[in-house]
Amino acid sequence: MPDRLDAWLSEMSSPPMPADLGARVRARLRGQRAREAWRRRAGDAALLVASLTGAVALWPQARAITAWDSVGALDASANWLANLAAAPAPAVWQTARSALDGAAGIAADLGPAGLLGSILLAVSLSAWLLRLLPRLEDAGATGISIQGAGT
């Protein structure tokens, strides 16, 4: 069957390719790559502006941030692990309550400008980090296993 198909296809006439087809394809690809590069540069510029705005908004609150100390953090971690081993549910509940109370304290210390600055900084830096990671469709070409180590 493939032999007859090859013979049939070779008997079919095909229109001649235009002489300038290669040049037209290259010109179109060049334009498309230029648009993609412009979008990438515009996105980088927007992320840079967001990062700088966040840093400038967060700068006056730097003293409040440096006032948070971690003195006794090792002892607190040991106590938390002991509580977690003794009674997991109450330890997790207390940790969640402490985290929410701490977030409220941080929000009060930073104020609206500091919160806006920290959000801008976190979102822009996260977006840049996502740009550094390989895309899912590119992962197959790079040999990265998405489904897990066993596949």
Contact (CB, 8 A) for 54 and 121? yes
For the stretch 19-67, pLDDT in tens is: 888 888 999 999 999 999 999 999 999 999 999 998 888 887 776 666 5
Contact (CB, 8 A) for 134 and 144? yes
Structure-block tokens of residue 116: 């806006």
Whole-number Å distance between alpha carbons of 117 and 50: 9
Place of tokens 């948070």: 68
Whole-number Å distance between alpha carbons of 43 and 128: 10
Could you give the dihedral angle defined by the CA atoms of residues 115, 123, 126 and 74, in that order, rounded to the nearest 10 degrees?
A: 10
Whole-number Å distance between alpha carbons of 84 and 95: 10
> Which pLDDT does position 150 carry in this prediction?
47
Does the structure show a pLDDT above 60 at 102?
yes
Question: Among 28-32, 56-60, 76-80, 93-97, whose mean pLDDT is lowest?
Answer: 76-80
